[in-house]
Structure 1
Amino acid sequence: MYTLMYFHYHAHYIFICALRVIMTRTLLTISLGLLTAPAAFGDSLYLNCTQTEGPAYNLASAYKKAPQDVRAQFLQDALEQGIVGNFIQPPTSWEIDLRKKTIVSPEESNKVINVLSDSPIKIEGASGVATFTLNRINATLAYSIRINEGARDTWQKAHGGKLPETLTYKYKCASSNQPAL
């Protein structure tokens, strides 16, 4: 009788231990699967923005003596110097891929901005000529384009006026964790 009780107790103990091991392994497998499973859109933030403010730059100041049609002449001269791209309004939609640490606009997919910092309150990025600062609390974006010193010097020698060092655009953005379509 004693042996039978001992056997029953021992079998019950082995069963509980085996069940505990199986459950632990199952939970670990599920946890690892969730941690490593690719998220279709979970790593990206999609922005659709509306410009609220453009650079406060007076085109006439780019010339020693302003031409009659300042805008047309400025665009022509900027095109000839190869800097007209700096004066084209930046994109209004963006994908911020937090896994790849990149910011790309479908409107200019050849220009990739690297994410420098990511926090619950702000995402900052930069490329060779642009900076990107998204305030996650109030959904505002500041996008700045730097005009290199060589281009500014060349312009001043040719036209007598000065180009700004930086052009800053401000946006109000709406975000989603998946594309609109």
Structure 2
Amino acid sequence: MKTLIALLAAASVYPATSVAAPPVFLNCQLTVAPDYQAFRSQEQKDAFVLEVLQRGIAGYLLPPSETWMVDFDNKQVIDLENGPKSAIRAADITAAMIIGADGYGNRFTLNRVSGRLKFTRSSGINSFVAQGITVPTTSTWEFQCRASPDRVI
């Protein structure tokens, strides 16, 4: 965790200088997933996924990336697994937090001190019940992240 604090704190100094800030790479591990993803059987899971696919929100079920690049110069957080289209642009970067949203209603909140990341994904439709499971309009995943000066795969 000291590495995370040191890398992110050092990078926050760069915007005040004319030297480009090096990117910081985040490697995160899932700690909390939405509880609606607990299924009683494989049949229930298959039927649930089919219904969600038919509603056109399959991407809503997928957990967010576990690897990110923080680009301090451009105030972006780039999802290294899903590419630049999933980037958090115009992120609000402070000494304590990095907060931003993408163009799909998803929200990224990283506590720069603790390394805790919350990623909230929006389905874009109202809550509904599928196979006896209430699917909320938004879901939140939580991660514990470590920073590195090198790209994480």
TM score, norm. by length of structure 2: 0.75
Q: Distance in 1 between matches of 2:131 and 2:43?
A: 15
Question: Partner residue of 1:73?
Answer: 47
Q: How does 1:137-152 map to 2 (within 5 A)?
A: 137-149=113-125, 152=126
SS at 1:89 equivalent: coil
1:54 to 23, 33, 37: 33
Please identify runs of 4+ aligned residues in structure 1 that moved more than 3 A. Answer: 158-162
| Structure 1 gaps, min length 5 | 1-34, 61-65
Q: How does 1:166-177 map to 2 (within 5 A)?
A: 166-177=138-149
TM score, norm. by length of structure 1: 0.64
State whether residues 59 and 70 of structure 1, in contact with CA within 8 Å, keep that contact through their aligned partners in structure 2: no
Question: For residue 65 of structure 2, what is the amino acid of its counterpart?
Answer: P
Q: Distance in 1 between matches of 2:133 and 2:79?
A: 33
Alignment RMSD, CA only?
2.7
- Offset of residue 83 of structure 1: 0.6
State whether residues 121 and 137 of structure 1, in contact with CA within 8 Å, keep that contact through their aligned partners in structure 2: yes
Question: In the superposition, relative to structure 1, how do residues 51 and 58 fare at CA in structure 2: closer, same or farther (>3 Å)?
Answer: closer
Question: Partner residue of 1:131?
Answer: 107
2:93 to 111, 118, 123: 118
Structure having the higher strand fraction is 2
Larger relative contact order, structure 1 or 2 (CA cutoff 8 Å, min sep 6): 2
State whether residues 130 and 146 of structure 1, in contact with CA within 8 Å, keep that contact through their aligned partners in structure 2: yes
- Offset of residue 115 of structure 1: 3.7
Q: Distance in 2 between matches of 1:50 and 1:43?
A: 23
Question: In the superposition, relative to structure 1, how do residues 53 and 100 fare at CA in structure 2: closer, same or farther (>3 Å)?
Answer: same
| Structure 2 gaps, min length 5 | 1-16
Question: For residue 85 of structure 1, what is the amino acid of its counterpart?
Answer: G
Computing the radius of gyration from Cα coordinates, the structure with the larger value is: 1
Deviations 1:62-91 (A, max 9, x none): xxxx99821110111111221111001111
